Amino acid sequence: MKRLLFLVAMALLAVVVWRVAYHPANADGVFLGYVEGDILYIAPYESEKVASIAVAAGSAVKKGDPLFTMSTTLLDHARNESSARIAQLEAQVANVQAAMNRPEQIAVLQAALERAEAALQLSRSDYDRQRKLYAEGHVAKAALDRAEMARARDEASVKEARRQVEASRMASRSQEIEAAEASLKQARAQTDAMKVRIKRQSVVAPADGVVQDVFFRPGEIVNAGQPVIALLPPENRKVRFYVSEPELTKIWLGERMRVTCDGCPSDLYGRVSFIAGRQEYTPPVIFSDKERAKLVFKAEARLEGPARALPLGMPVGVTPAPEATGATQ
């Protein structure tokens, strides 16, 4: 399709250049040209399979209207995996935070340590007393053994309580919480990015316009940046015409031009938006006054109002609008 449009455009260009160069019948001030347009080629952000097409060639769309949708199967799986990762990290953060001892909890552990130390002191005193009584033969060996076991038990209780107090005061606990929260924040950012990627798979019209062509169909694979829809906004329609060298000074940027064509209304206008800085056609001769008429310069005029409905490739004539006559450059 692109090749066909290119060949048609080149043929029109050749005809216009030939007519201007060898038939400069512009005594009436008519510049020859044709309608063109700056087409927007709408492509997906990522390589995927086309899921659906919402428009057809010739459809008029508004800005924001859906054009086509790409498959999101892989992205959906990645999003679900990321969501599960967030749930896992949230649980991990909650677990670490729950293990973090507040000052009140440390005070409770400290009181338990003091209670264990008091019990140990009592059991040691009882053991010393039972040992003396046993040596004097006043108590049985079993009483001494019970006192010894109670002392060993209380010593172990003191060691356990002391370690709990020390663990509750470790600075590494807050660092673990910070690391877990940072991982959670990163996972949430990845999930947000995945949601954006999924949303961008549904492509909408960037401007009002008419669909010129649809290059792919549902089920076909499209690479990132490869056009799926060709869209032409009305303001992108223009007339490309050619001005011979002697008449170049008769037009200027911003000048309003009348556009005429076979069977067209008489109130079609455009405004000059571009004038080439160099000639389009140069014959291999010395430029005498006669030969300079063969030099043509490309110019463009953006169409206005009803003129924006002219079809692409339409041959037209362009003349300065009556209200612009006599204006200074």
- What tokens does 130 get? 């039972």
Q: How many CB atoms lie within 10 A of CB 133?
A: 15
Quick: pLDDT tens for 171-181.
Answer: 556 777 788 88
Looking at domain 102-168, its CATH class is mainly alpha
Looking at domain 11-71+211-324, which CATH architecture does it have? Beta Barrel (2.40)
Identify which of 314, 111, 86 has the alpha carbon closest to the alpha carbon of residue 191. 86
- At residue 27, the pLDDT reads 46
- Whether residue 13 is predicted with pLDDT greater than 60 in this model: the reply is no
SS3 311: coil
- At residue 60, the pLDDT reads 93
Q: What is the mean pLDDT of residues 45-59?
A: 93
Identify which of 198, 199, 196, 214 has the alpha carbon closest to the alpha carbon of residue 67. 214
Residue 28's pLDDT band (cuts 50, 70, 90): low
Strand 269-275 to 296-304 pairing: antiparallel
Quick: pLDDT tens for 246-283.
Answer: 888 888 899 999 999 888 888 899 999 998 877 765 44
Question: Are the C-beta atoms of 184 and 79 separated by less than 8 Å?
Answer: no
CA 248 to chain centre: 45
> Domains of the chain: which residue ranges?
11-71+211-324, 102-168
Say whether pTM exceeds 0.75.
Answer: no
- Whether residue 129 is predicted with pLDDT greater than 80 in this model: the reply is yes
In whole angstroms, give the CA distance from residue 53 to residue 287.
55
In whole angstroms, give the CA distance from residue 160 to residue 211.
78
Consecutive H or E run containing 325: none
Mean pLDDT across the chain: 82
In whole angstroms, give the CA distance from residue 109 to residue 51.
63
Label residue 30 exposed, middle or buried (CB < 10 Å: 0-12, 13-18, 19+): middle
- Whether residue 126 is predicted with pLDDT greater than 90 in this model: the reply is no
Lowest mean pLDDT among 208-212, 232-236, 293-297: 293-297
- At residue 326, the pLDDT reads 41
Identify which of 181, 176, 189, 182 has the alpha carbon closest to the alpha carbon of residue 82. 189
- Whether residue 21 is predicted with pLDDT greater than 80 in this model: the reply is no
- Whether residue 150 is predicted with pLDDT greater than 80 in this model: the reply is yes
| Distances in whole angstroms, Cα of residue 131 to Cα of each of 138, 155, 254, 289 | 10, 18, 117, 137
Q: 3-state secondary structure string, 1-25? A: CHHHHHHHHHHHHHHHHHHHHHCCC
